[in-house]
Chains A and B, each alone.
Chain A
Amino acid sequence: MVLKLDLDGTVHHVTILARRPHLVLSVDGRRHVVEALDEAGDGSRRLTVDGAPVSFARAGSADGAIIRLDGRSFALRRRDAAEASAAGGGANVVRAPMPGTVIVVHKRVGDSVQRGETIVTIESMKLQMKLDAPRDGEIAEIAAREGEGFDKDAVLARLVATAEG
């Protein structure tokens, strides 16, 4: 079974390869050997990861844990299967979910956007809806014009991946 762990918003795939004599994990395809050492007694815990000592503290909840390591806090959460199935892919186009009218175009060609940022506001059936960026990227094309109508599945905007760096 592959565990999906969300660490500060990034999902990591973790598989347990062996439990004895030491814990062997595959994290995003990389193999790591983990040995548990005694508790330090001050609430922190000690491990060795691939032979190197690591000391950390954790506070757990039903949904995950907060890890304190090297002076920083990390939120760790397990993603369940139903949630992951709803997270969606990384499509490059913003399509009209139904026929309607463009009310506001929020972005221009060349703007860089993050996943979830609103690109256009549309109105259909007396309801104004925001259409958001499906992924991080840069606006390559805006086909929507304020006040103009469109059909279902019309492409209202296109994204391209932002160049690394």
Chain B
Amino acid sequence: MSRLQSSINTASADFRRNEAHNRRLVAEFKAKQEAARHARPQRDLDRLARQQKMPQRKRIEILLDPGTPFLELSSLAANMAYGGESPSASSIVGIGMVSGREVMIRADDPTVKGGAWYPLTVKKIVRALDIAMENRLPVVHLCDSAGGFLQLQSELFPDRYMGGRIFRNQSMLSKMGVKQLALVFGHCTAGGAYIPGLSDYSVIVRGTGAVFLGGPPLVKAATGEDVTVEELGGAEMHTSVSGTCDYPADSEEHAIEIGRDIVSQWDRLPRWEAQREAPEEPFYDPAEIYGIVPDAIKKAFDMREIIARIVDGSRFHEYKPNYGTTLVCGFANIWGFKVGILANNGVLFNDSSIKGAHFIELCNQNNTPLVFLQNITGYMVGREYERRGITKDGAKMIMAQSCSRVPKFTVMCNGSFGAGNYGMCGRAFDGRFLFSWPNHQIGVMGGDQAANTLAEVKANQMKRNGGAVDKGEIDRLWDETRKAYQEQLSAYYSTSELWDDGIIDPLDTRNALGVAISASLNAPLGPPGYGVFRF
């Protein structure tokens, strides 16, 4: 594989303008992330200290093997929901190493409304367990939750992917032989009680840990019985009488110590043998990505320049370089793992779609994981392209991509508009992981396009009703529509709604993909096979 030749001029005015723009975006992202992780009202922190509880992130730090990376997922979930009341959707989720095993860690956040689950908390937990199932990752639950946020119960309880799905997924994981451990630091009330109940192993902290379907106030209301927390669901009772939990612990540190020892007993399931070489840092400086990604979503850039700053040694074997040039396809290594990359260098045409479908088939036959680098405004429209069958060629790409058996990973590097999102493994296509850059925008169309369309519809309506076109009214509608669209197009809205597994600093792309690819190797590859391609 030969090294990509960069043609970036780091002294150019364009580069410097882009760099200033993107560094500002990343600084903004890091400030939001820092606030979501650590900024809490003082009274909540004081209460935690009074209860002799560690902050949630401290628990995770002690649980992890020293010096190993932790890939936090969806750190800005719910950042645009509930008036910002639920930082990280009141739940910390990520992949890390515990006793030498890759595990999914899922932790409630007791500093926010007693760890209550908001609708997006439930969505985040379900997603974490989906990831665990798809990648056969054992799960460690750090439990400290008051239960569902009752004011919003209709959005978190009844539907297929709501509360019940957590417990269904826990059951499926156990059936698949993927282990789960619950460390009970605080209350596990109502539905939350089933988390330790459905885990293969559970540890509970004396004094602060408690598990029950209904707490003392609910029992009093229901039956008139007076009962203390300890009697009803404390560590002594559950580990010596009910058997709901397995091991009592004297402190949070002790619970984590027991937990690490439990994990070290677990067998290691075989991983599939992906092609691997010795890892090598990229030849080109990844920090130059800031100067390459343009300062406006409309401006095109060469995705090979990004590939050169993510892959090992900046080496890339480009497949079919002169055909369907708006989709760059080729092989590279990331942290030593062989991958097939599909990256957008413009609109998808007939030839680029067919090339993409063909390349996806090659990777499936070669057991090579797929990495999609999205910057896509859609499949080409117009008479000529429809006559050539742009719809059926796009369908081939979607078919090949949907039916892939190799793990798929998606990075939203810039725009993701229209059906291009589908062909390039958008959220609906079960990629193992999907990360976004802070500059990312996503929507069925752009803000200007939506505003123009709606303004035109409104003007026609005014004419039809016999009145004159009210220019002020039309302008107001245009502004409002564009503003609403811009807000919903942003990466922050996307990550708030869990349409991705988190925003990342572009410089962390290589590391995030490395952890993700490694995690994906725990699950065996399914059988090959596709549906009917329309030729």
Q: Hey, which bits of chain A sit against chain B, CB under 8 A? A: 63, 80, 82-83, 85-86, 97-99, 116, 123-130, 152
Contact = CB atoms under 8 A, between A and B. Distances in A.
Contacts of B465: none
Contact of A126 (B3, B384, B446): B446
Interface residues of B, number: 23
Interface in B290-338: 298-300, 317-318, 321-322
Question: Does more than half of chain B's interface fall in helix, strand or loop, or is it mixed?
Answer: loop
Interface string B268-303: 000000000000000000000000000000111000
Given A82-B317, A82-B318, A83-B2, A126 B449 contact: yes
B318 to A, nearest CB: 6
Contacts of B298: 123, 126-128
Interface of B: 2-3, 7, 298-300, 317-318, 321-322, 346-347, 349, 377-378, 380-382, 384, 415, 417, 446, 449
A127 B378 CA distance: 10
A123 B446 CA distance: 14
B321 A82 contact: yes
A17 to B, nearest CB: 26
Given A85-B322, A130-B300, A152-B384, A125 B317 contact: no
22 contacts: A63-B2, A80-B2, A82-B2, A82-B318, A82-B321, A83-B2, A85-B322, A86-B322, A97-B346, A98-B380, A99-B382, A123-B298, A125-B347, A125-B378, A125-B380, A126-B377, A126-B415, A126-B449, A127-B300, A127-B377, A128-B298, A128-B300
Contact of A124 (B318, B347, B417): B347
Contact of B318 (A86, A97, A125, A152): A86
Nearest to B299: A128
Please give me the 8 A-B residue pairs with the lowest Cβ-Cβ distance, nearest first.
A86-B321, A126-B377, A125-B347, A129-B300, A128-B298, A125-B377, A127-B377, A80-B2
B311 to A, nearest CB: 15
Nearest to A81: B2
Contacts of B299: 128
A98 B384 CA distance: 10
A66 to B, nearest CB: 15
Given A63-B2, A80-B2, A85 B346 contact: no
A94 to B, nearest CB: 15
A128 B377 CA distance: 11
Given A85-B322, A86-B322, A126-B415, 5 more contacts: A83-B2, A85-B321, A124-B347, A126-B377, A129-B300
A126 B381 CA distance: 12
